[in-house]
Amino acid sequence: MARLVMKFGGTSVANIERIRNVARHVKREIDAGNQVAVVVSAMSGKTNELVGWVRETSLLHDAREYDAIVASGEQVTSGLLAIALQEIGIPARSWQGWQLPIATDDAHGSARILSVNGDEIIKRFAHGEVAVIAGFQGIHEPTGRIATLGRGGSDTSAVAVAAGIKADRCDIYTDVDGVYTTDPRIVPRAKRLDKIAFEEMLEMASLGAKVLQVRSVEMAMVHKVRTFVRSSFTDPDAPELKTAGDPPGTLICDEEEIVESEVVTGIAFARDEAQVSIRRVPDKPGIAANVFVPLADANINVDMIVQNISAEGFTDITFTVPSGDFERAKAALASVREDIGYGSIEGATDVVKISIIGIGMRSHAGVAARAFKALSERGINIRAISTSEIKISVLIDAAYTELAVRTLHSVYGLDA
């Protein structure tokens, strides 16, 4: 017998028929003798509808009331799934975030989870009851107000609940059947990974892979929650799901569980990047702070940073920001031009960041050289480079995105 958390996203609970299908997935695990808690998102499109109503009512709205409204989508789904489970003979009860409680800070709209109390759920497992928990939400206990976790927050809810009830595994059911070496829409020969380390998944999630929310991977890594990504559209009664073998999907786990790591696990890409270059910056102590502190004060995230070697007392600094912050970044720098003393600002939004990810890089030399050689042979110019222990990122012109991804996918032997 295992203790499981099963999480179902918006497309998996988009209508009553799909909610009944989810109930069958839950029944399969109950019939196998497992203890189950379920975390659900709002039905597909409902959160956008609720957000639209709030903005139509007032653009400058109270964030606390915003949370009270948008959290209602998950409340509906959890109640409907509890009824669907009861209909097929499974004891079930819906829970809202505040009823456990899932305690959060007071950053309404993007709150962070502080703790989860799973005692009552564990107690009810003894009676065979399934807990159906509304994801995406918790409570700021000092004020008693509902707080939501930001878009995609149901993934984080599920991992937090899994940690709170000491689950053996957290199964994330989604509209794909696992984590792939890259986007299969760009590289049809991309392979589904059987296992991926927490660190690798965190890099992939933060660099463009949309399978899991970044914060959920962070929480899984911190609390060592084994997380399994699988498809909710597989027939719940399929024979392969009822055998002792591993079902189709990808296990996100500790590095120690992966016997032999590939040098490169996957290729990720992010299209929402913009490049900013500051020309003829005086090369003197404190100048970098004068450039990046105003950006930090404006809450603009800076990623890749390249500084040229000083010439005649001047240097150039190039960095990337999210494309949505491009104009704000230029405005923030223009406001402190006298403090920095730069010559000019140049920028580009038609760029993409390609990242090569793999824990195997730690023990292999020449990984970056292979990438640079392969890209040069295809005539692809690299604008900027950044590296970490398990990642190499390059910034290139957006027009070469697909060619670069396919090239690197092949170079590192990831094609199926």
pTM: 0.84
Which residues contribute to the annotated binding site? 7-10, 47, 74, 174-175, 180, 185, 210-211
pLDDT digits (tens, 9 = 90+) for 176-194: 888 999 998 999 999 999 9
Identical fold, 3-256 and 266-411: no
Report d(CA 392, CA 353) in Å as an integer: 10
Distance, CA of 228 to chain centre:
14
Going by pLDDT thresholds of 50, 70 and 90, the confidence category of residue 205 is confident
Sequence-distant (6+) residues with CB within 8 A of 272 are 322, 323, 324
Alpha carbon separation from 100 to 18, 80, 161, 262, 407 (Å, rounded): 26, 19, 10, 41, 49
Which residues contribute to the annotated binding site for ATP? 7-10, 174-175, 180, 185, 210-211
Residue among 170, 35, 17, 16 nearest 92 (CA): 35
Tell me the CATH number for domain 3-256: 3.40.1160.10
Of 348 and 260, the structure prediction assigns the larger pLDDT to: 348
pLDDT digits (tens, 9 = 90+) for 329-362: 999 999 989 888 888 999 899 999 999 999 888 8
Q: Could you name the CATH architecture of 266-411?
A: 2-Layer Sandwich (3.30)
pLDDT digits (tens, 9 = 90+) for 20-77: 999 999 999 999 999 999 999 999 999 999 999 999 999 889 999 999 999 999 999 9
pLDDT digits (tens, 9 = 90+) for 365-414: 888 899 999 999 999 999 989 888 889 999 999 999 999 999 999 999 99
Task: List the domain boundaries for the chain.
Answer: 3-256, 266-411
Torsion of CA 381, 383, 384, 385, to 10 degrees: -10
Which residues contribute to the annotated binding site for substrate? 47, 74
